[in-house]
Amino acid sequence: MSSNVRPLSGIKVLDLSRILAAPWAGQILADLGAEVIKVERPGAGDDTRSWGPPFLKDAAGKNTREAGYYLAVNAGKQSITVSIDTEEGQAIVRKLAAEADIVLENYKVGTLKRYGLDADSLRALNPRLIYCSVTGFGQDGPRAEQPAYDFLIQAMGGLMSVTGERDGKPGGGAQKVGVPIVDLMTGMYTAVSVLAALNRRHATGEGDAIDISMLDVQVASLANQAMNYLVSGKVPQRNGNAHPNIQPQDVYHCADGDIILVVGNDRQFAKLCDVLGQLQWAQGQYATNAQRVEGIAELTPLLQASFKDWTRADLIARLDAAGVPSGAINSVPEVLDDPQVKFRKMVQTAPHPSGVDVALVASPMRFAQAPLQARTAPPLLGQHSDQILRGLGYGDNEIEGLRAKGVI
């Protein structure tokens, strides 16, 4: 039996962050049922609101101020505009923090301390508060005060050194990942961290201060590539689409286009060889994964020669039937139109205040006993300012006064 109580029902999150990493965490918490209040600069808001085109079009077909970038990471939140460099604005944030369970912020190290909105100051008001700071390099160390963006950390953190085609081959050279993967992974680690602190608070009654660094996240995310180096002493290299430890895994050419092949074990390789009519490969010098990794330079041309007379659809169908993972390289529209993606309802629509329905990518989390609600549209700048301030005890005259002074 399912319940209408979502996993984080009753939890309040004060989201002082902008751009992507920490807002991504805020969106995850909103998906899980938390009330997430996003604090933005009056008149401008989150930088990503202007990171377009494309921009959402309103009912009249005109561009709104909502860029696709902003819409991707702020669903399910409320927006209030607050100028935190004013005393009145700081007082509003303190009142919000006094009622919050979690604060997310990604200001430059030391900025919020100047305003009395740092972890020590807000946790003195609310000892149960979980305060999470997300920065490029962390709260300490020689780079602590330096700004950072995903692209920079992909480069500095080693990801680009193992992403892209090998030097000397067409298209060779370091490449960044096609989505801001460090921001996304940082958002995931942020969400995990605050939920862990929330669980600890259930036992101890006390909150915590959490320090998340994008560079730390990227170093941790080097995963097998870092361990390959630590175990062997050999510097990992760019290898195109080929996997460094498991083979065959690469892009292969069929008669009418490319497919990817992901052989994960010796049994799957034997099934591949059976489909191709080349069982001797699985019984001889390529029988084990270690042999295939060592001999991939000789195996790859053999596979390419076997694939060239197949159409993609026929080969994928035969490999699917045999239990060998393979697939086409889909464009974004093809992904969103995939029958499996559509069956899982990974694209949903929500009414937007501009008068249109906006298509949103859904949360991937599925709970049997606490199904998540569909995402609500990302808010307009300051859409909920009056509502939130009234909830804090501000009267209408006070709210208008704050607006006239540029505080909200």
Which active-site residues does the annotation give?
A: 183
Identify which of 311, 238, 306, 249 has the alpha carbon closest to the alpha carbon of residue 274.
Answer: 306
Q: Give the Cα separation of 23 and 16 in Å (integer).
A: 9
Q: Give the Cα separation of 250 and 19 in Å (integer).
A: 34
Instruction: Identify any residues that bridge with 104 across adjacent strands, giving them in sequence order.
Output: 15, 132
CA within 13 Å, CB half, 391: 12
The answer to whether residues 205 and 128 touch, using CB atoms and an 8 Å cutoff, is yes
- For 70, 226, 358, the CA distances from 49, given in Å and listed in that order, are 5, 36, 15
DSSP string of 66-127, one letter each residue: EEHHHHTT-TT-EEEE--TTSHHHHHHHHHHHHH-SEEEE-PPTTHHHHTT-SHHHHHHH-T
Instruction: Identify any residues that bridge with 258 across adjacent strands, giving them in sequence order.
Output: 253
What the block records as the tokens of 332 is 């974004």
For helices 266-276 and 312-322, the axis angle rounded to 10 degrees is 130
For helices 21-31 and 181-204, the axis angle rounded to 10 degrees is 50
What the block records as the tokens of 297 is 């330079």
Number of separate helices (H) and strands (E) present in the chain: 18, 13
The answer to whether residues 376 and 34 touch, using CB atoms and an 8 Å cutoff, is no
Instruction: Identify any residues that bridge with 63 across adjacent strands, giving them in sequence order.
Output: 57
Furthest CA-CA distance within the chain: 84
Q: Give the Cα separation of 217 and 73 in Å (integer).
A: 19
